[in-house]
Amino acid sequence: MSSSQDAGTQEFDARGNVGRPEPPASGLLARWNAIPLYLRILAAMLLGIAVGAALGEHADVLEIPSRVILQLLGALAPPLILVAVVHVLLTTDIKGRMAAKMAFLLVLNTLVAIFIGLTVANVIKPGTWSELTLGDAQTVEKKTLTPDDIVLKNIPRSLLGPLGDQQNIIGVIIIALALGLALRRQRDKPMVRELVEIAYNALITVLHWVIALVPLGVFAIVASVVGVQGFGPFKAMGVFVLAVLVALLLQTTWYMVRIRFGSWARPLHVLKGMRDALLMAFSTSSSTVSMPVTYACLTEKVGLREESASMGALVGANFNNDGTALYEAMSALFVAQLLGQNLTLSQQLLVVVTSVVASVGAAGIPEAGLVTMTLVFTAVGLPTEYIALLLTVDWFLDRCRTTINVLGDVNVSCLLDGKRKSIIQQA
């Protein structure tokens, strides 16, 4: 979930980090951190390949650092979702009928995205293109969805319990909604807003510290895979990247068809008008950073009413991460295929439900999808070690899914604007 309507007034640094820009530091580490994340990851991959090839079987110990990073990402997820939901509830104005229509559009788009993702992954089966073993967990824990799972386990037993339990994201959302709605009644008090904002920014700062460790994780996982299993496993990764791209293209087609028949705006005109925002999303991997540009393009270049643009691109954007939902569902299926296991129908249903929640809870910042992905994997019983493998391609796929996240907001805004252009727009 991204940081709401006042995103335009927040401070971001050049790489899309929220908060005050760090004072320029000197030294080797500072110079390393000044390099864009994707270049650091690419460098780490190359180094990982060289070290893995040199160490051979001995490189297996390097799996540990990548696991540590994943554990840290997973630990951050529940509090991040809690504070982000409360933050949105405190800072956005939602209007009656339009809100109901928007909620419907958001749910529909996310479900279509997950359906497309699962279908493409089931047809192309990227995980069957190579064999790969990581860690000791080689099976998907069988989980069947009983009424007990759906209701009782998701209702929080204690207020703080779900915050320490990665298997209960729905519980976290329930607590966040209750707290957010209660605090909303007191939102005139500046202290309430300030406190939530401080907590949100602090968590995002910690998240960026962990993200700074991602190149180390990539180095470690690449070295250990290359050392122990050679280059074979990367064939599957290549097919997985292609499969995700195909699915994202299909989702784009869905958006365009919906705009063609549900809005006065024409798809090509929309794509042309949104060029700047889409390029910004691709280059920053952050839908939150792109938010002000998205809004400006929608109103100034596409010509939507301000109300539709702000509902879709500012309010809805906080909940709407279709690219992330599609990616999380595909990743779960991909890893199950790598393990040579088929997810049962109830497990695939669990993937759908948790991917929806995980995409709602993903912050609009680089790599946020990886944080909530640990929750999807844990809920379905997939070994989270395999997410480390996805780190190697995430720097690229994050850019692609962020572009689709923004296009999803554009789609909702166009549909909210309806089939008739406003009279002011026509003039």
Using the contact rule CB under 6 A, the part of the chain among 219-227, 297-305, 330-338, 363-371 near ligand ASP is 363-371
Closest approach, Cβ 23 to ligand ASP, in A, equals 26
Nearest residue to 238 via CA among 328, 129, 384: 129
- Contact status: 403 vs ligand ASP (CB under 6 A): no
H helix runs in 285-384, sequence order = 287-296, 306-310, 322-338, 345-361, 368-380
Tell me if 365 contacts ligand ASP by CB under 6 A.
Answer: yes
Nearer to ligand ASP, 287 or 411 (CB): 287
Q: Is 347 in the site for ligand ASP (CB under 6 A)?
A: no
Which one of residues 92, 130, 285, 308 is an interface residue with ligand ASP (CB under 6 A)? 285
Q: Which residues contact 289 (CB under 8 A, 6 or more apart)?
A: 7, 12, 16, 280, 364, 365
Buried b (16+ CB within 10 A) or exposed e, 33-61: beeebbebbbebbeebbebbeebeeebbe
234 class by beta-carbon count within 10 Å (0-12 exposed, 13-18 middle, 19+ buried) = buried
Spatial distance between the Cα atoms of 46 and 223, rounded to a whole number of angstroms: 9
Residue choice 165, 197, 367, 385 for contact with ligand ASP (CB under 6 A) = 367
Distance between CA 97 and CA 115 in Å, rounded?
27
Instruction: Tell me: does residue 366 bind ligand ASP (CB under 6 A).
Output: yes
374 is a site residue for ligand ASP (CB under 6 A): no
Shortest distance, CB of residue 324 to ligand ASP, whole angstroms?
A: 4
**Segment near ligand ASP (CB under 6 A); pick from 71-79, 146-154, 161-169, 366-374:** 366-374
User: Does position 401 bind ligand ASP by CB under 6 A?
Assistant: yes
- From 49-57, 121-129, 306-314, 358-366, give the range in contact with ligand ASP by CB under 6 A: 358-366
Binding region for ligand ASP (CB under 6 A) out of 143-151, 242-250, 364-372, 414-422: 364-372
Q: Which two tokens stand for residue 17?
A: 């980090």
Our CB check for ligand ASP shows the closer of 217 and 303 to be 217
Q: Which residues pair with 18 in a beta bridge?
A: 12
Q: What contacts 320, CB < 8 A, 6 or more positions away?
A: 106, 109, 110, 405, 408, 409, 412
Among positions 308-327, residues that touch ligand ASP (CB under 6 A) are 321, 324
Please identify the residue of the shown chain whose CB is closest to the bound ligand ASP: 369
Segment contacting ligand ASP by CB under 6 A, of 42-50, 171-179, 261-269, 357-365: 357-365
What phi, psi does 12 have (nearest 5°)? -125, 145
Please identify which residue in 65, 215, 364, 383 interacts with ligand ASP, judged by CB under 6 A.
Answer: 364
Which amino acid is located at 10 in the chain? Answer: Q
Which residues, other chains included, contact 418 with Cβ-Cβ below 8 Å and sequence gap of 6+?
263, 264, 308
Q: How many CA atoms lie within 13 A of 233 on its CB side?
A: 25
Indicate whether 217 belongs to the interface with ligand ASP (CB under 6 A).
no
* Stretch of residues binding ligand ASP (CB under 6 A), selected from 30-38, 170-178, 340-348, 398-406: 398-406
One residue of 292, 316, 369, 383 binding ligand ASP per CB under 6 A: 369
**Which residue of 130, 251, 354, 405 would you call a contact of ligand ASP, by CB under 6 A?**
405
The smaller minimum CB distance to ligand ASP, of residues 63 and 394, is found at 394
Phi and psi dihedrals of 18, rounded to 5?
Answer: -85, 150
CB of 18 to ligand ASP, least distance (A): 11
Q: How far is the first Cα of the chain from the last one, in angstroms, to the nearest whole number?
A: 37
Chain contacts with ligand ASP (rule: CB under 6 A): 285-287, 321, 324, 362, 364-369, 398, 401-402, 405
